[in-house]
Structure 1
Amino acid sequence: MARPTDPALRGPTPLPPERAAALSGLYAAATGRARRRTLAGFAALAALALLAAFAAEVRPLVFLENIGKFTAYLEQIWPPVGLEHPLADLRAWYWGLPGWLGLLGETILMAYLGTLLGAVAGFAFSFVAAANLVRSPALRFLAKRFLEVCRTIPDVVFALLFVIAFGLGPMVGVLAIAIHTTGALGKLFAEVVENIDMRPVDGLSASGASWVETVRFAVLPQVLANFASYALLRFEINVRGAAVLGFVGAGGIGQEFLAAIRSFYYGDVGAILVMIILTVIGIDLATEQVRHRLAGPEHDR
């Protein structure tokens, strides 16, 4: 059979040995530099981790010596439910279920209301903090710094301040969660706004639309799904946070949980802890389904 005359059908032409050796040397040098940079990065990361562990007084040997105390505590709060009388044991274990459910509902409502207020405030500040919508550097600077203050100070600190000002109660938890959520969601919302398609914005601005009209008709349709998804995720986080805020007098199940820990009521500690875990799991599963629906069919693929 005759060899094809078309050069494209003959396959690649082999390089001269000198040229192939030169290219191989360049490739080896490039991959060697990349490998050395990667190793240097890992070495620096390991050194920083060791330095941080030393500064934080991390003692692995002490941890290993005292791990038995931790496992012993877990055994003490393990549910005292046997195989002989499981229903009776379960009723005895959850002797305070009606009151605990009321406090757990209070915790969920605290998280819900705090998340709602924080999401509304973060929604408003996100557009002001977005560089592609606000041209004033001073206005953007003030908005971003305000959001940083809100999310930098822990919600527990806010709760302590509000307890001193307003006394004990769920309102303290709502305010603390709302302020911290404002900072967290405001930053996430602003990043979503900064990544939108600017062509609708430019089109409305060129037609004479006001800033509010531009945000309403060109920005909101692009960001609402992501805003709702982030808000739902934050609600799940705030349910856990609301349980912790009860430790400082913000009401809810956390206050009863702390009282059980301080009183060494191991059975109550285990029962309340299981309730909190199951609640967070249920909220996580529900919000996950809602987030997937908001993301659309592209997310499922």
Structure 2
Amino acid sequence: MARAISILPEHQLAGLTQRYKNEIGRRRLVTLGCLAVLLVLVVLSASFAEVRPATFFSNLGNFTSYVGRTVPDLHWATLGADIRAWYWNLDGWAKLLGETILIAYLGTLMGGIAAFALCFLASANLVSSPSLRFGARRLLEFCRTVPEIVFALFFVIAFGLGPMAGVLALAIHTAGALGKLFAEVVENADMKPFEGVLSGGASWVQAVRFAIVPQILPGFASYSLLRFEINVRGAGVMGFVGAGGIGQEFLVAIRNFYYTDVSAILLMIIATVVVIDLVTEKIRHRLIGFEAPTR
């Protein structure tokens, strides 16, 4: 059945049109004002941070020159020999790279266990005590606020040079970062199963174990895999302060101006991170039930 469309009188339509134009103009003014404030803040930040674009562009050639010197001379006729000369210490670097991955793995595992234990105490929907929740949250904040390299310096002084300092430093920082993420996952869980288990006579720990944990495990695993990928990068930097891994060898190459060694080690680290990212992406997608769209 056809319906007639009513048309507003001219004076009402003109009034609505004018109000619409005024609202659009007001929003444009607000947007321009926000952009102006943002521009002022950027200029002030650059001034306080002593960011000088002229210095950047005048010294840009030094950066490109350094990058160019790290690229080895490769010739098609002697490509195999050139690559072998480029990666002359492949066995030693591979061993140190494996050590870096193990440091990241142990740091992620230990930090993940600590985060799992603390996240429930930091969740507002599970803990009614403000003081307990406050203490757990502040502890997690402390762990993730202090940079890993600062913790690594402390542990190197305490335990000496070696992977142990890197593992402990990554574990503490991982506990703080994952603890916050885990707590947010717990706070988004459905509380009806938890309340039902409690009403059936279960203890708080039993209710968390059987009503909350099954809901949050996929999210926990996804965040843990992502953190492991981040920790592989972080473990590479730990070697700069003597905390084991390939970072120390990388720093030696930079300090001694072994240009081709710098590019060789850097490419190995990049390739390792790419492989880990691809593998963990596949695992995360399986855990959350993600399926790629088909064409």
Interval of TM-score (by shorter of Structure 1 and Structure 2): over 0.9
d(CA) in 2 for partners of 1:298 and 1:289?
Answer: 10
Aligned-pair identity in percent equals: 62
Alpha-carbon shift at residue 297 of structure 1 (Å): 3.5
Query: Matched residue of 2:73: which SS?
Result: coil
Corresponding residue for residue 228 of structure 2: 235
Show the counterpart of 1:205: 198
CA distance in structure 2 between the partners assigned to 1:90 and 1:184 by the alignment = 40
Distance across 2 between alignment mates of 1:275 and 1:104: 8
Distance (Å, rounded) in 2 between the aligned partners of 1:224 and 1:261: 42
Counterpart of 1:206, as a letter, is: S
CA contact (8 A) 2:285 2:291 kept: no
Q: 1:265 to 1:145 in 2, by over 3 A?
A: same
How far off is 1:85 after superposition? 0.2
1:202/1:36 Cα in 2 relative to 1: closer, same or farther (>3 Å)? farther
* Structure 1 counterpart of 2:108, from 109, 112, 115: 115
Letter in 1 for 2:235: A
Question: Could you say if the C-alpha distance between residues 300 and 197 of structure 1 is closer, same or farther in structure 2, counting changes exceeding 3 Å?
Answer: farther
The residue type equivalent to 1:46 in the other structure is L
Aligned to 1:265: 258
Residue 145 in 1 paired to residue 138 in 2? yes
How far is 1:299 from its partner? Answer: 7.5
Residue of structure 1 in register with 2:43 after alignment: 50
How high is the TM-score relative to the length of structure 1? 0.94
SS across alignment from 1:85 = helix
Residue deviations 1:111-149 (CA, integer Å, cap 9, x gap) = 000001001111111111011111111111100100000
| Offset of residue 300 of structure 1 | 5.7
For 1:209 and 1:280, the matched residues in 2 are separated by 44
Q: CA deviation at 1:252?
A: 0.7
TM-score of the two chains, using structure 2 as the length reference:
0.96
**What residue is the counterpart of 1:3 in the other structure?**
none
Distance 2:202 2:11 in 1: 66
Q: Would you say 1:22 and 2:15 are equivalent positions? A: yes
Cα distance change of structure 1 residues 39 and 199 upon mapping to structure 2, 3 Å threshold: farther
Residue 66 of structure 1 is matched in structure 2 by: 59
Alpha-carbon distance in 1 for matches of 2:161, 2:250: 16
Question: In 2, Cα distance between the equivalents of 1:19 and 1:205?
Answer: 61
Gaps of 5+ in 2: none
1:40–1:204 CA distance, 2 compared to 1 (3 A): farther
- Over 3 Å counting, the alpha-carbon distance change for 1:71 and 1:28 in structure 2 is same
CA distance in 1, matches of 2:158, 2:73: 42
Q: For residue 164 of structure 2, what is the aligned residue in structure 1?
A: 171
Find out whether 1:190 has 2:183 as its counterpart: yes
Which stretches of structure 1, 4 residues or more, deviate above 3 A after TM superposition? 297-301
Q: How many residues align?
A: 294
Q: Gapped runs of 5+ residues in structure 1?
A: 1-5
1-structure distance, mates of 2:11, 2:201: 65
**Root mean square deviation, CA, Å:** 1.4
Correspondence for 2:91 = 98
Tell me, yes or no, if the aligned pair for 1:292 and 1:300 is still in contact at 8 Å: no
SS in 2 for 1:23: helix
Secondary structure in 2 matching 1:10: coil
Q: Deviations over 1:30-69 (max 9, x none)?
A: 3333222222222222221111111111111100000000
Deviates more, 1:40-49 or 1:279-288: 40-49
